[in-house]
Structure 1
Amino acid sequence: DGAIHSDGCFSWVGWVFRDYQDIILAIGNRRLVPQNDPPTIEALSIFYGMLCGKRLGYHILILESDAGVIFDAINNSSSCNATYGNIINDIGELKLGFEACFVRYISEEDNNLTYTIAFLAKNL
């Protein structure tokens, strides 16, 4: 998930890795300068989370996002012409490096843990 700093000068993205029993295995976050628009922040949070998962040696990922527009763009087979289209393309390429990689839409309420991590990180 992502968060925008209140003064508008930068953004934060955060991600959480959980196992099949919902036990947290790892968390991460990253500060982004310059600040991006909300859909781009959401796409970058998925991208950086995937990179982290790759470095941690995970072979199967289930990506969850409450950003419907990003969910649709990732699952669409055609090229994305939005400002974040290059990130969507990078996500598609990165997906190929996993044994399995699924993207699913979740509600904002269900995404609360990742949002909280991104929100807390932006206040550091």
Structure 2
Amino acid sequence: MEQGQARVNLTINIFWHIWKARNKRIFDSAHQEPHNTAQKAQEEWLEFEQERESEQESRATQNRSGQQARNEQPREDVVCLYTDAAISAKMIRTGKGIIARNWKGIILRAKGNVHQRKGTASMEEALAIRNALLMAKQAGWKKIIVHSDCKSVVEQINRCSEYEYNIATILEDVQELRKGFDRCSFLFISRTANVISHALAHFAVKLVHNIEWENDFPIWLIELGMKEMRVVSPFCN
């Protein structure tokens, strides 16, 4: 059925290009070889089909992520950690932002880490997740959900195998640390749902030393947190 519809769509597109070629010849005296018209129609149709398939795959991924998030609805005793990393090639620095929130979205703790090095995206994202687990362990939280907008790292953690060679040791640490919690799961979220830790990571790039807040947070961080709480519902997902 799909192949039949594809042939129909291609045929319609060829007819449309023939019609345009005919109009150019009549009104603009422009001549175009028939095989060029057919080839252009086919190329345009292939581009359209590839774009359509890409959009369908993207929607499917979003639906899977949404379903996974709904299956991970937390209880009041679960702490949600949001992580992100930023890299400044110009400054040769990397920054990581970690935000801990309760099930209502209220910020419990925030941490920004900075390193003077030229990092890679997957390594810094993996380190941010490991740092989040270390922060949770230090705080004594027993039930956590770690959120990251780095899909590849989250998938590798959840598979518990087939790690990229440059982050294998870090992810093995993550697997070992998760054993110390009564509940510890990892979720991929979109960048738009991870704004506050993204902002903190970019803030951390400019720091001289690591920084951590608990109970008393800077105004800009509080305002970002309040903005996200109004947008995301239920918040901790």
TM tier relative to shorter chain:
over 0.9
Q: Is the 8 A contact 1:10 1:35 kept in 2?
A: yes
- CA distance in 2: counterparts of 1:103 and 1:88, whole angstroms: 12
- What aligned pairs does 1:45-124 form with structure 2 within 5 A after superposition? 45-124=128-207
Equivalent in the alignment of 1:21 = 104
Partner deviation per Cα, 1:54-79 (whole Å, 9 max, x = no partner): 10111111000110110111001324
Q: Following TM superposition, where does structure 1 have runs of at least 4 consecutive aligned residues deviating by more than 3 angstroms?
A: none
Taking structure 2 as the reference length, what is the TM-score of the superposition? 0.50
Alignment: residue pair count: 124
Q: Gaps spanning 5+ residues in structure 2: where? A: 1-83, 208-237
Q: Contact conserved, 1:9 with 1:35, CA < 8 A, in 2?
A: yes
1:30 aligns with 2:117: no
**Code of the aligned partner of 1:43:** A
Which residue is equivalent to 2:45? Answer: none
Structure with the bigger percentage of helix = 2
Partner residue in 1 for 2:63: none
Bigger drift between 48-57 and 32-41 goes to: 32-41
Q: Report how far residue 8 of structure 1 moved.
A: 4.5
Q: Which of 2, 8, 11 pairs up with 2:94?
A: 11
Percent of pairs with identical residues = 27
Find the structure with the greater CA-based Rg.
2
CA contact (8 A) 1:14 1:49 kept: no
Structure 1 unaligned residues grouped into runs of 5+: none
Distance 1:70 1:35 in 2: 19
The TM-score with structure 1 as length reference comes to: 0.94
2: distance between equivalents of 1:87 and 1:32?
Answer: 16
